[in-house]
Amino acid sequence: MNIKISAVHFKADQKLEDFITEKLEKLDKLHDGIIGADVTLSLENTDKPENKTVDIRIKVRGYDPMATKTAKTFEEAADVAIEALKKQLIKLKDKERGN
């Protein structure tokens, strides 16, 4: 899977990129048609501690599931976004099977 991670107005450290890449690669088990993923990391300009946003779009043949989540840490936001994408991929696979 081709994963592209971009950070808006800051440089993401390698540890965070590796964490996100490792989590996204596990999605290959759910659907064999995943081509790649685009991940955008950004900081919201708010007073709340939940200001880290992760936006993930997965490229699948004919369908691009997407999830955007905000949390206190990028890792937490990525986890929640990937969970949302898992649900979308499971629904897509069921739909393809005709269930």
Q: Please, are residues 46 and 59 in contact by the beta-carbon 8 Å criterion?
A: no
Q: Which residues pair with 38 in a beta bridge?
A: 4, 57
Per-residue pLDDT tens digits of the chain, which is 99 residues long: 899 999 998 899 999 999 999 999 999 888 888 999 999 999 988 888 889 999 999 998 878 899 999 999 999 999 999 999 999 999 888 887 876
The widest CA-to-CA distance across the chain, in whole angstroms, is 47
Any idea where the domains of the chain sit in the sequence?
Answer: 2-97
Domain 2-97 is of which CATH architecture?
2-Layer Sandwich (3.30)
Instruction: Give the integer Cα–Cα distance in Å for 24 and 3.
Output: 8
Helix 74-97 vs helix 14-25: crossing angle, to nearest 10: 20
Global pTM value: 0.89
